[in-house]
Amino acid sequence: MTETYVCSHCEATVTRPFEIRSLIRTCDECDENGRFLHESLVESLHSLPDEELPDDWETLPLDERFELALRQGLIQLTRK
């Protein structure tokens, strides 16, 4: 079984044989070094109501959107 992770900058994906919330690596597509979020976290960001989001939401990298949504209580993490 593999898990998919999404680059916070360009949304390219990589797969790994383990499941964690995020990993840090250099993206093969955009050459940015940063956080790759587990695809389930990215999906949770896409399900947020537009009226709750700041105007610049789409311009923020995925990891910044995730942290902002956590701080504002728009999403919550649960333990498995």
Pairwise pLDDT comparison (77 vs 23), residue with the higher score: 23
Q: In whole angstroms, give the CA distance from residue 53 to residue 68.
A: 9
Give the pLDDT band of residue 80 (cuts 50, 70, 90). Answer: low
Place of tokens 């390219």: 12
CA neighbor of 27 nearest in space, from 40, 38, 13:
13
For the chain, the residue count is: 80
Whole-structure pTM value? 0.89
What is the tens place of the pLDDT at every residue in 17-67? Answer: 999 999 999 999 999 999 999 999 999 999 899 998 999 999 999 999 999
Query: What is the domain partition of the chain in residue ranges?
Result: 3-71
4 C-beta neighbours (distance < 10 Å), count: 15
